[in-house]
Structure 1
Amino acid sequence: MLAGAAAAGVAAPVVVAGLGTASASPETSRPARAGVTRRVTVYAEELGGGQFGYGLSPGTATIPGPVLEVYEGDTLEIDLVNNTDRRLSIHPHGVDYDVDSDGSPLNDSFNEPGTRRTYVWKTRAPFQKDGRWMPGSAGYWHYHDHAMGDDHGSGGILAGLYGALIVRREGDLLPQRQYTVVFNDMTINNRVAPDIPVIEANQGERVEFIAIGHGNTFHTFHLHAHRWVDNRTGMLSGPDDLTPSIDNRDLNPGDSFGFQVIAGEGVGPGVWMYHCHVQFHSVGGMAAVWLVRNPDGSMPDGAQEALDRYQAHEHSSHAGH
């Protein structure tokens, strides 16, 4: 399902998961203290139909898995419980870890069926070395299996073992709604249109997208009628910031990025597409919709008709061939 979205607008770093819900207003994140250790238990489970997912409690696994969030300087300890009959693991991008937490068979770092293992991920702020500034951990990252099927986790990724990892910096603005979008081979979150659930927001709400690429196919991510800035946050630092604004970006295997937009800003409510802009990919089912409701949550004029057209549309996996 198009999950991995969560309520935000909180005043301290959290680990979040579930469907997108709105808070009253966005807030600036201010951690209560720096450098804390956050612990979470993640359960890997079989979902049926050859699909697998991660969840924060037994029986709650989803595709994508829960969004994991920390602040720069925090340590995240993940207790991974393998409730499947397959070898699997959890491997992060963008953070620090030692070989025991690598999540790869190369380093004998994985879970056998029915076992529990702790993975430790550390983050840091930008720092100076040899008179130069080195980057910190803040960014929109991701995690995934690295052991199912082969030593690179190809089977686990194909089956849905992946999710978003966000490392925030103090002062980052938090969203009111949050959605994870994963282009995995020729699917969006392991589904194709019109079987991709509709995501929603009310006009004027701040919405965060985390975009992730997996599989063996090259893609581009396009969002209709909204744009963001091509940097870490997706926002300008001021009116003189010359960072390019974009509404389309490559989303290839291993890539991840994120951004925030104001729903319907300058364009109004309605049903807006997001999709891969490789033409035969979108025609083949890599296309989904974002419903921006009126500010009061009511349905905009023409929106139900657009949703009906989306649900009735037949996609061809052979288009363009």
Structure 2
Amino acid sequence: MTDHPSRAGASPFRQLSRRSVLAGATASAVVPVTAMNGVPAAAAPAKRGDTRRITMYAEELPNGLIGYGTSPGEATVPGPVLEMWEGDTLEIELVNNTDRKLSIHPHGVDYDVDSDGTPLNASVNEPGQRRTYVWHSHGPYKAKGNRWMPGSAGYWHYHDHAMGTPHGTEGINKGLYGALIVRRKGDVLPDRRFTVVFNGMTINNRTAPDAPLFRARLGERVEFVAIGQGDLFHTFHMHAHRWTDNRTGMLEGPHDTSPSIDNKDLNPGSSFGFQVIAGDGVGPGAWMYHCHVQFHSDQGMAGIFLVLNEDGSVPEGAQAALDRYRDQG
């Protein structure tokens, strides 16, 4: 299951119930959608070494936003999570259904100048135009001089690079961005996945009390992809949950000395990801995540990670915490 991106900016903090609390949690498409290793279809990438072709649509949304989607009328902010295994090739046909020039530009993967997504290389979509962008990935390899070069695996992102300026500043401000994950053989897949984008003074172009509300059941493996956009410098902090400061966010064995952290810089153009077990050692409840630059959190850069009981019911005190969050926003 995936994150719950915004289409209309409506507040998520309506009265919660046992039946409704997980509703809408899969609104953002994940590409591809094939099942693997018993993980729900929306959480599984395709087989390694595949060439896959998808169509994405750039569309205008309410409140002046513009988003990417994998079907007409389904654009969201952030856009869909795109996944690859190291060695995969992803061919994206982007359909520009707006009246503005735009593009799609990735971080962390390989591409030629025709798929750069910049006006510099005339790699853009004019209004109404279809254009195919090709992204490749690779595994670690031994290079000349007895050097080992890293593979593409990591938590990356994609964004517009053409609207408003040659750097896509207006497109990014309006919501043209999303997560790109490249996995390595053996990586553990999550039960749920959430995308958190600090863009200017917003989270996914929203602020408290309408910042994204992420939900998971106690004990589920949850993956967060954190992305920085805009002009400001931030730090990402998660209450009660920690992760390992390495590629995956999880220790690779008992002798892995990667530090355990719960706060990390999230600056323009940067990204990282991690997995946690929801409520592990702390239990269910309404747990805050936010920018730890104090005046940023005070001005609305704070949201809620709601850990439900194992049966999906709302834990005692969580609704009251959500109400206080809403009132303080």
Normalising by structure 1, what TM-score?
0.90
CA pair 117-275 structure 1, distance change in 2 beyond 3 A:
same
Q: For 1:239 and 1:170, locate their aligned partners in 2 and report how far apart those are by CA, in whole Å.
A: 20
Residue 31 (structure 1) shift: 7.4
Deviations 1:247-305 (A, max 9, x none): 00000000000000000000000000000000000010000001100111111111110
Structure 2 SS opposite 1:79: strand
Q: Which residue of 2 aligns with 1:107?
A: 121
Residue 26 (structure 1) shift: 8.3
Q: Which residue of 2 aligns with 1:15?
A: 32
CA pair 73-273 structure 1, distance change in 2 beyond 3 A:
same
Q: Which residue of 1 aligns with 2:328?
A: 313
Q: For 1:35 and 1:113, locate their aligned partners in 2 and report how far apart those are by CA, in whole Å.
A: 33
Choose the corresponding residue for 1:49, options 56, 63, 68.
63
Residue 6 (structure 1) shift: 5.0
Q: Count residues in correspondence.
A: 303
CA pair 25-46 structure 1, distance change in 2 beyond 3 A:
closer
Q: Which residue of 2 aligns with 1:288?
A: 303
Q: Which residue of 1 aligns with 2:91?
A: 77
Structure 1 stretches of 5 or more lacking a match? 17-22, 315-321
Q: Which residue of 1 aligns with 2:183?
A: 168
Deviations 1:53-79 (A, max 9, x none): 000000000000000001000000000
Deviations 1:197-253 (A, max 9, x none): 321000000000000000000000000000000010001111111110100000000
Q: For 2:109 and 2:68, locate their aligned partners in 1 and report how far apart those are by CA, in whole Å.
A: 19
Choose the corresponding residue for 2:276, options 255, 261, 264.
261
Structure 2 SS opposite 1:59: coil
Identity of aligned residues (%): 70
Deviations 1:100-139 (A, max 9, x none): 0000000010000000000000000000001111000000
Equivalent pair of 2:118/2:162 in contact (CA under 8 Å): yes
Q: Which residue of 2 aligns with 1:40?
A: 54
Q: Which residue of 1 aligns with 2:13?
A: none
Structure 1 SS opposite 2:148: strand
The farther-off stretch of 31-40 and 46-55 is 31-40
Structure 2 SS opposite 1:49: helix
CA pair 266-88 structure 1, distance change in 2 beyond 3 A:
same
**Cα RMSD after superposing both structures:** 2.2
- 5 Å-filtered alignment, 1:112-131, equals 112-130=126-144, 131=146
Equivalent pair of 1:137/1:167 in contact (CA under 8 Å): yes
CA pair 156-203 structure 1, distance change in 2 beyond 3 A:
same
Q: Which residue of 1 aligns with 2:222?
A: 207
CA pair 243-111 structure 1, distance change in 2 beyond 3 A:
same
CA pair 2-250 structure 1, distance change in 2 beyond 3 A:
farther
1:219 aligns with 2:234: yes
Q: For 2:310 and 2:133, locate their aligned partners in 1 and report how far apart those are by CA, in whole Å.
A: 42
Q: For 1:252 and 1:31, locate their aligned partners in 2 and report how far apart those are by CA, in whole Å.
A: 27
- 5 Å-filtered alignment, 1:57-76, equals 57-76=71-90
CA pair 208-30 structure 1, distance change in 2 beyond 3 A:
closer
Q: Which residue of 1 aligns with 2:314?
A: 299
CA pair 24-118 structure 1, distance change in 2 beyond 3 A:
closer
CA pair 185-32 structure 1, distance change in 2 beyond 3 A:
closer
1:180 aligns with 2:180: no
Instruction: Kindly provide the amino acid, as one letter, of the partner of residue 91 in structure 2.
Output: E
Residue 3 (structure 1) shift: 2.2
Q: For 2:38 and 2:48, locate their aligned partners in 1 and report how far apart those are by CA, in whole Å.
A: 26
Residue 7 (structure 1) shift: 9.7
Equivalent pair of 2:204/2:212 in contact (CA under 8 Å): no
Deviations 1:75-112 (A, max 9, x none): 00000000000000000000000000000000010000
Q: Which residue of 1 aligns with 2:169?
A: 154
